[in-house]
Homo-oligomer: A and B are copies of this chain.
Amino acid sequence: MTAVADARIAAVTAAREARAMYRSGFVAPTAGIAPGMTQANMISLPKDWAYDFLLYAQRNPKACPVLDVSDPGSHSTMLADGADLRTDIPLYRVWRDGELAEEVTDASAAWAEHPDLVTFLIGCSFTFETPLLEAGIEVRHITDGTNVPMYRTNRQCRPAGRFKGEMVVSMRPIQADRVADAATISGRFPSVHGSPVHVGEPALLGINDLAAPDFGDAVRIEPGEVPVFWACGVTPQAAVMASGVPFAVTHAPGYMFVTDVADSTYHV
């Protein structure tokens, strides 16, 4: 057994153990969990809404890079053997008529309301955080053990069918002399949001107070650091709100689906 194979088995094991913990009710943000294993955003919609959403994702690939789509009614995914999409995420949101109806740790009951749910798993910027760390670039919310800060913006996505809405971004403060490296490294992962959509100048994105994120937790910004913004997989939730979608189940921001797929799979 080689060291590489050992590490791979350990990483998959960590992912499986994390999913089992979440399935049994443990609730915490997933940043830093099962390092090297891809995490994903989730949105489940009735079949009638699936085409419009898949098109919305195609038209907004930086915000909504689709990693897998389940068949209607299926709660499994090729991204994680034996996973149950109804229970294996730490925290879910149930949406009704475009509004957040409840947060639950087990979405089985919501799932049972619609036998034809189609589930979309969408890339998450956590995937390029391990390469950032390996390059010696600090990721503040990992250092501080908090959720990543996320913000709604004034940047509209390209609409598709009944879907419209603004782009949501995640933010990481990066030392000015490492911003280019962070852009280059994340750019090698286009399936998980790729390079930043905006660097510095939060007001131009319509963000007036970095200390008050719309989702997740605020993070320290130290002298010499620049706020760097990446498109975020919470964008579909903004679209659910803006479009008045009658029913959806999503993950809660920062509480992701931990897959068995190595981050390196999405490296180009």
A194 contacts which of B58, B66, B268 (Cβ < 8 Å)?
A: B268
Q: Roughly how many angstroms separate A268 CA and B193 CA in the complex, as a whole number?
A: 12
A261 at the interface (CB under 8 A from B): no
A199 beta carbon closer than 8 Å to chain B: no
Asked if A187 lies at the interface with its beta carbon under 8 angstroms from chain B, I say yes
- Can you list 16 A-B pairs, Cβ within 8 angstroms, ordered by A? A51-B51, A51-B54, A54-B54, A54-B55, A54-B58, A55-B69, A58-B58, A58-B66, A58-B69, A187-B268, A188-B268, A190-B190, A190-B268, A194-B268, A195-B268, A268-B268
In chain B, what residue has the closest Cβ to A268? B190
A51: chain B residues within 8 A (beta carbon): 50-51, 54
Number of copies: 2
| Bound Cα distance A221, B138 (Å) | 50
Per the 8 Å Cβ criterion, residues 30-74 of A in contact with B are 50-51, 54-55, 58-59, 66, 69
Q: In the assembled complex, how far is the CB of residue A192 from the closest CB belonging to chain B, in whole angstroms?
A: 12
Determine the residue in chain B with the shortest Cβ distance to A158: B78
Minimum CB–CB distance from A156 to chain B (whole Å) comes to 15
Complex Cα spacing A54 to B66, Å: 11
Min C-beta distance of A264 to chain B, whole Å: 14
A181 vs B187: C-alpha distance in the bound complex, in angstroms? 20
| Chain B residues with CB under 8 A of A268 | 187-188, 190, 194-195, 268
Nearest B residue (CB) for A195: B268
Query: 16 additional contacts, CB 8 Å, given A54-B58, A190-B190?
Result: A50-B51, A51-B51, A51-B54, A54-B54, A54-B55, A55-B69, A58-B58, A58-B66, A58-B69, A59-B69, A187-B268, A188-B268, A190-B268, A194-B268, A195-B268, A268-B268
